[in-house]
């Protein structure tokens, strides 16, 4: 499932660096499980693209110590 895949990718990346890193997620698709994995693994940042990312999710990210960068689609 996408949660386990995301955790596996994060774990593999952690083995390659001791520096903080983040991940990018397209909000057009259901990435709820991947986003939760990013929060659980406490990545440095989450960049979200092209969709709504409600304040509640930003608050949850901040509680996990994850900074959020939001890129909005040109309209």
Where are the chain's structural domains?
2-71
The answer to whether 21 and 43 are in contact (CB under 8 A) is yes
3-state secondary structure of 59: helix
- 73, burial (CB in 10 Å: exposed 0-12, middle 13-18, buried 19+): exposed
DSSP H or E stretch at residue 31: none
**Nearest alpha-carbon partner for 60 in 49, 48, 50, 72:** 48
Please, which pLDDT band fits residue 75 given cuts at 50, 70 and 90? low
The confidence score (pLDDT) of residue 46 equals 98
| Residue range 23-74, pLDDT digits in tens | 999 998 899 999 999 999 999 999 999 888 999 999 999 999 999 999 876 6
Mean pLDDT of the chain: 94
């Amino acid at each position: 499932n996408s949660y386990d895949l995301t955790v596996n990718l994060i774990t593999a990346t952690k083995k390659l660096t001791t520096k903080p890193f983040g991940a990018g997620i397209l909000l057009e698709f259901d990435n709820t499980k991947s986003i939760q994995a990013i929060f659980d693994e406490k990545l440095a940042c989450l960049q979200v693209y092209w969709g709504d990312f409600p304040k509640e999710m930003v608050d949850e990210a901040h509680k996990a110590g994850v900074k959020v960068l939001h890129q909005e689609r040109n309209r």
